[in-house]
């Protein structure tokens, strides 16, 4: 009883930690999703924003953590998905709040001293970017692909030959769905990392280009490992349901805890070490900063969270606050994507 509550609680705590990482992982010229011109950055170091961000976030989120953990203890792991949802809302609320604050601050500063505004702004794009290795090679997906195929084949074989002996059909079906789902996510993240809009800063093109490539490679490797481990876990569990292998209940329970834990803690560490867009990767390469600032596209980032830019044909972009990727909600592909997600959720929940 107690052990099945540990995972939801840890997930909740790690999610809370992730929500507080924003000030740590952001690139230098971005402050909670707001572009800061070089000159403004040099004269007024707005470090107090970071401190205040953490303060407000902690004070709200600690209360919620205590309530959330209490709910999980009281009502079991059932409502834990809702505790996570509230956690995400708090995180986004805090992002939006500080995004607004910094936006106002920037506007005020630039009104007082118009000389601090960016003189030259540009968007820099590297024509060689797509020729770099941004993700692991497609070949690697054979491994989880074969494992998934094996899982499907062996279940089909057992179903056709010794169907009456299969006692845990329901669990097996849900394991199969889960594995397929994980495999689809795997291919999707690969697609996202390969195709998302490149982030090369006009301020230091060579360095930021290199950082962006490394950022993508690292996440590609990390996600591949985690998702493959999940597929292996499902397969092992599946084999034990077919009585092909004898699995100690204790061991299988531990395995089921360890992989999600590894995923969550690993992503926190990777986020801190790498930073969004690779901004925290030290390349030991000092590039002279150009006089150019990145184009101020703050107005397209609603609440600092949602990218909505009808003039931009791109579909997948790097987030402005936090780590990872998001959609251009002005692109029709985004609606297809959202509808597809909702459809998948409805289908899987009814099966």
Which residues are near other proteins by CB under 8 A?
A: 120-130, 197-198, 200, 202, 205, 209, 292, 295, 309, 311-315
CB nearer to other proteins: give 311 or 351: 311
The partner residues of 316 in beta bridges, in order of sequence, read 327
CB of 125 to other proteins, least distance (A): 5
CB of 315 to other proteins, least distance (A): 7
The Cβ of residue 30 has, within 10 Å, a number of other Cβ atoms equal to: 20
CB of 120 to other proteins, least distance (A): 7
Q: In whole angstroms, what is the distance from residue 251 CA to residue 263 CA? A: 19
If you search the block for the tokens 């809302």, which residue do you land on? 89
CB nearer to other proteins: give 55 or 333: 333
Please state the φ and ψ torsions of residue 18, each to the nearest 5 degrees: -55, -40
CB nearer to other proteins: give 295 or 345: 295
Helix/strand/coil (H, E, C) string of 127-188? CCHHHCCCCCCHHHHHHHHHHHHHHHHHHHHHHHHCHHHCCCHHHHHHHHHHHHHHHHHHHH
Distances (CA, A) of 274 to 61, 202, 211: 25, 20, 9
Helices 80-112 & 47-75 angle (0-180, nearest 10) = 170
CB nearer to other proteins: give 102 or 124: 124
CB of 199 to other proteins, least distance (A): 10
CB of 210 to other proteins, least distance (A): 12
CB nearer to other proteins: give 174 or 206: 206
CB of 123 to other proteins, least distance (A): 5
CB nearer to other proteins: give 120 or 165: 120
């Amino acid at each position: 009883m107690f052990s099945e509550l540990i995972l939801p609680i840890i997930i909740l705590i790690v999610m809370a930690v992730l929500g507080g990482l924003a000030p740590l992982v952001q690139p230098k010229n971005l402050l909670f999703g707001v572009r800061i011109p070089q000159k403004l950055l040099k004269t007024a170091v707005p470090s107090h924003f970071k401190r205040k961000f953490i303060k407000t976030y902690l004070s709200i989120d600690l209360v919620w953590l205590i309530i959330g953990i209490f709910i999980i203890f009281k009502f079991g792991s059932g409502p834990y998905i809702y505790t996570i949802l509230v956690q995400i809302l708090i995180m986004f609320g805090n992002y939006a709040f500080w995004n607004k604050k910094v936006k106002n601050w920037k506007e005020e500063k630039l009104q007082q001293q118009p000389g601090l505004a960016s003189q030259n702004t540009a968007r820099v794009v590297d024509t060689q970017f797509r020729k770099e290795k941004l993700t692991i090679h497609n070949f690697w997906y054979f491994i989880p692909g074969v494992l998934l195929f094996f899982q499907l084949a062996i279940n089909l074989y057992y179903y056709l030959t010794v169907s009456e002996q299969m006692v845990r059909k329901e669990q097996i079906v849900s394991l199969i769905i889960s594995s397929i789902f994980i495999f689809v996510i795997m291919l999707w993240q690969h697609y996202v990392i390969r195709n998302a809009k490149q982030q090369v800063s006009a301020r230091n093109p060579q360095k930021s280009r290199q950082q962006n490539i490394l950022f993508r490679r690292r996440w590609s490797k990390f996600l591949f490992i985690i998702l493959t481990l999940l597929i292996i876990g499902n397969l092992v569990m599946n084999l034990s349901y077919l009585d092909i292998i004898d699995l100690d209940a204790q061991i299988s329970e531990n395995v089921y805890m360890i992989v999600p834990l590894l995923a969550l803690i690993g992503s926190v560490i990777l986020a801190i070490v790498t930073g969004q867009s690779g901004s925290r990767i030290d390349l030991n390469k000092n590039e002279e900063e150009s006089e150019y600032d990145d184009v101020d596209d703050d107005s397209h980032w609603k609440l600092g969270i949602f990218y909505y830019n009808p003039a931009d044909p791109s579909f997948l972009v790097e987030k402005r606050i936090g780590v990872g990727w998001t959609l251009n909600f002005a692109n029709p592909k985004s609606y297809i994507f959202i509808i597809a997600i909702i459809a998948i959720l409805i289908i899987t929940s009814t099966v």
